[in-house]
């Protein structure tokens, strides 16, 4: 079996992908034509140019422009189903999709209607594409106490049936001024049984990773790539096997690394850290979940067993039921044995 065929066939889970950031060109074109007059192009060529990022602030501006197209519950469902359609041919079986309820709140969508759209889309994604969906509600970290309050209220009062986690994203450098509000929101979410899955150490240093560990009770961390400069943190992450959801192409496109060859993924694994491989905002970064596995092979020289181990890591770090985890792990082992 060729490496490309192996990657395509490898059962995968996607643990770090954002609802708005998952919108592929066909999905965005559907939305931009549904809502004409926005800042988002309505032709494929212009849209691909629109997606050529120079740094994280530029990415954030584009992300906000796409987000402004999501005005009705139907748009939310369109995004979810578009992601499932795009992931199914890549061998993806399960997705934990990060949703930002505050963005929908700002345009006046009622919580109940957003939740109904998410529930409907989850059912259709499984029925039509064979992709099982779970949701993580995340706070946009630069928006402060109101965003934390709205996100928590939605998670506790009107949660979708498949809600499993509570997170925070956005510009990490803005978080310290809202420290108490964010810690309080995570405490309440965890008390309600939601898993803590914050971003940390993507665009800031080890101090943010320590904060999500100590202040948010992180059970899994988005990115975490800047952990390596702190030996004590590396030792803690290795000893606890706290999973880090790594997204190499995203880090390149947002300027967190200068070259893909500079990505710390290989060293993180050499240090014995628990790493999963994900896509983050794939169409915006001209990547896919399967392409991230190809990058791991092409750039870092990972072979079939190393790629399979990353897939296993994702399954084990997910919030799937134990029986379903064992089924996927058995599928991965069978593919390795056949390949």
Neighbours of 84 (CB within 10 A): 25
Instruction: List, in sequence order, every residue forming a beta bridge with 200; answer none if it has no partner.
Output: 223
User: Hey, what are 120's tokens?
Assistant: 């409907």
Per-residue DSSP letters for 197-235?
--EESSSS-HHHHHHHHHTT--SSEEE-GGGTT-HHHHH
Helix, coil or strand: residue 317: helix
The number of residues in the chain equals: 339
Check 96, 132, 202, 211 and give the catalytic one. 202
Contact 315, 325 (CB under 8 A): yes
Task: Give the start-end residues of each E strand in 141-213.
Answer: 163-169, 195-196, 199-200
Of all helices (H) and strands (E), which one includes residue 125?
A: helix 111-129
> Which residues are CB-neighbours of 111 under 8 A, at least 6 positions away?
101, 105, 153, 154, 157, 158
| Residue 202 a catalytic site member | yes
193: number of Cβ within 10 Å: 9
Beta-strand pair 195-196/12-18: unpaired
| Nearest by Cα to 219 from 195, 189, 239, 193 | 195
Q: What are the residue numbers of the active site?
A: 202
């Amino acid at each position: 079996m060729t490496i490309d065929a192996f990657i395509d066939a490898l059962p995968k889970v996607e643990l770090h992908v954002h609802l708005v950031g998952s919108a592929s060109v066909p999905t965005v074109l559907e939305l931009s034509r549904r809502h004409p007059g926005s800042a988002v192009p309505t032709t494929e060529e212009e849209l691909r140019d629109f997606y050529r990022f120079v740094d994280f602030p530029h990415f954030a501006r584009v992300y906000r422009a796409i987000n402004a197209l999501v005005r009705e519950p139907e748009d939310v469902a369109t995004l979810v189903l578009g992601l499932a359609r795009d992931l199914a041919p890549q061998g993806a079986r399960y997705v934990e999709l990060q949703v930002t309820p505050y963005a929908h709140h700002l345009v006046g969508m009622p919580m109940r209607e957003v939740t109904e759209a998410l529930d409907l889309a989850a059912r259709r994604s499984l029925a039509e594409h064979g992709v099982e969906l779970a949701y993580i509600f995340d706070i946009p970290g630069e928006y402060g106490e109101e965003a934390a309050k709205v996100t928590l209220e939605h998670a506790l009062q009107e949660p979708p049936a498949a809600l499993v986690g509570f997170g925070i994203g956005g510009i990490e450098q803005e978080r310290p001024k809202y420290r108490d509000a964010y810690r309080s929101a995570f405490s309440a979410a965890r008390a309600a049984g939601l898993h803590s899955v914050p971003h940390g150490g993507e665009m800031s240093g080890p101090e943010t990773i320590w904060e999500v560990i100590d202040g948010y009770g992180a059970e899994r961390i988005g990115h975490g790539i800047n952990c390596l400069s702190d030996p004590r943190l590396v030792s803690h992450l290795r000893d606890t096997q706290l999973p880090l959801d790594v997204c190499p192409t995203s880090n390149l496109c947002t300027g967190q690394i200068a070259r893909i060859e500079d990505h710390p993924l290989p060293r993180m694994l050499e240090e014995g850290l628990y790493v999963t491989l994900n896509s983050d905002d794939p169409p915006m970064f001209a990547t896919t979940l399967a392409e991230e596995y190809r990058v791991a092979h092409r750039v870092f020289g990972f072979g079939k067993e190393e790629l399979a181990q990353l897939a296993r890591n994702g399954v084990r770090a997910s919030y799937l039921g134990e029986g379903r985890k064992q089924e996927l792990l058995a599928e991965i082992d069978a593919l390795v044995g056949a390949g």
